[in-house]
Amino acid sequence: MATTLIAEESTQRAELNEAVLERVARDDVHLIDLQFSDIAGGARAVTIPTSLLATVLDHGYRFDGSALSGGPREVELDLYLAPDPSTLVIFPVMSGAPRRGRLCCSVRRRDGHPFPGDPRSVLERVLAAAASAGFAYEIALEIEFYLFDQSDQGLVPPADAAGYFGLGE
């Protein structure tokens, strides 16, 4: 059964990778940002030309991860970015700039296992543990906005005097 699951996941992955390559070609994308989080949760990215994308989707993108912590480099640490094809975003065309896309990546060790300092892999592991304990994790956006009135002096006071949870007396 495990072999069947692995084969199904491999087939699905290949289909997703092919869909990414087709979309990138159709939308005339020239550069892909391979985005990942560092140990502190900061967004990082490596930009590759789309000519490398098929190889990177199949094998990952090797980089020296020894500087991920932000400290001094003491030893080389081979890590790989493993793009998640379901996260492809094509950005709007900027005037005169080549069209770009973005893929979110997990950070993997040379043996393919998750890098312990990868926040994305840690979250996946914690969510799997929570699911096995019967918990479901749901997330939603909270959109907030504020209304302001501009005065003749250029000041922008709030439109009402209501505070947090106020009703706008």
Tokens in use for 31? 């550069």
Question: Averaged over 130-149, what is the pLDDT?
Answer: 84
- Tell me how far apart the alpha carbons of residues 105 and 112 are, in angstroms, rounded to a whole number: 13
Higher pLDDT, 105 or 148: 105
Higher pLDDT, 128 or 149: 128
Close Cβ partners of 163 (under 8 Å, ≥ 6 residues apart):
none
Question: Looking at domain 2-69+76-132, does it have CATH number 3.10.20.70?
Answer: yes
Beta strands in the chain, from DSSP E residues, in sequence order? 31-37, 43-49, 61-64, 78-83, 89-90, 100-109
Q: Residues 98-118: pLDDT tens digits?
A: 999 999 999 999 888 999 889
Q: Is the pLDDT of residue 72 over 90?
A: no
Strand (E) or helix (H) holding 9:
helix 2-26
Read off the pTM.
Answer: 0.74
**Where do the domains of the chain lie?**
2-69+76-132
Q: Residues 115-124: pLDDT tens digits?
A: 988 999 999 9
Whether 107 contacts 115, CB under 8 Å: yes
Band (5; pLDDT cuts 50, 70, 90): very low
Check residue 3 and give its pLDDT.
Answer: 43
